[in-house]
Chain A
Amino acid sequence: MRRSRIVISLVAVVIAIVLQTTVFGAGRIEPLGVAPALVTLVIVAVAPYVEAEITILLGFTGGILMDLIGSGTLGLWAMSLTIVAYIASRVSYRYKDSVWLSLAAVFVLTVLGQSIYVVLGTLFGQETATEPNVASKILLPALWNVILGYPVLWLARVAFRTRDRSWVA
């Protein structure tokens, strides 16, 4: 059971990266010029269903894959998403049973992940903090994640075979 949850989580992260770079990347679906942050969304969505250690490892793995696919300094997304995953693992029991709290967590943790990346990028010599529209690059992915949040959170429930059907109503 535990192994299947790990595999599902990893597959979800890989799918998120592929969709991020194809459907939402290359200027295709980028409302207001910015795409959602799917990997962050997936991490927040699976955190309530896997152990804290798995969530943190998932955050690190997703982040390092993003670093390797992307063009920035290696390790920055890994650190950012590890922090997001750590916080998600600590607070997931609070938002697990509420749609609104889950969506709030998605928003806050996405803003946090993007902000940490900007700070780390600046510390490691990238010009992320001085980029034009940096505020929209932090806030818009969070907003799009909230819009995509309900179906993704619902999919996570289905994938992890939770018997609780309170969300259906």
Chain B
Amino acid sequence: MFSSCADPKSLEGISWLLCYLTSGKHIDFYWSFLTVFVLLAVTAPAALLFGFGGAMAARSHVAPLRWLGKIYTAMVRGVPDIVFFLFFVIALDQGIEWMTHKIVCPDWTEPIRQGLEFRVCPEAKVPPGDAPQFWHQLYGFALAVFTFAIVFGAFAANVLYGAMNAVPRAQLETAEAYGMTHGQVFRRVLVPQMWTYALPGLSNLWLILVKATPLLFLLGVKDIVYWARELGGSKTQAYAYPHPDWRLWYFLFLLVAYLCMTRVSEIVLARIAKRLNHGQATAAGEAMRRAAQ
């Protein structure tokens, strides 16, 4: 990075540390924070969408759809979430390859599962075997994001389902009395009102999501945990910057970074709650009205 860092062995003290912390691998480490933020930015709306779909399905009048919705919302309750993380990443990968296999090579006669192997025709590999490393990483990341969205969608579906049921029945009946159709009641009355009931659950979910991001490491993505382990491990004299085992300090840094992230989230969410509770016929809204008087 700096020209003075050309010969790290000759450096000492602060200048050594400065050069060390701006070495190429450390820049990669700092960039991997971006991975976490991208994951959060993509997963949060996607999970909300999945959750919305799940909650709508669970309220559906069509029985099979309702069962599907109920199973989706119930699945995260009894089973640890990392089981789903580990499961979906492989299952999705195999599912995608199996489908492309069916489309691309219909003449393939050998069985796909041969003993301990999962073998599709070479054209059906996703991404293609000769693709550059970047595409493999991107594909892995996309799978991880999708997995996160499925699992957190189930959590969000729980919250939204509860929120939809919490909207006072009288509001919906009034809307019906005005002659609105089911769809209109849903769009114009239920959905705008449910957010204030959903917010506590959704804020909780956001904090959980923030705290679940290190699990990206388990899904094989080079995230901050990967780099902290990589950089923190003891380095011999063969390396440019030899040092003993510093993983403790790297993980301490990650811990503090996460504490900052959750703290900032809490402050922002408290503001949103204040805004949404304004003028609502709930305990929180009533407290705000009293305080304003």
A, B from the same assembly: no
Chain B contacts to A: CB under 8 angstroms: none
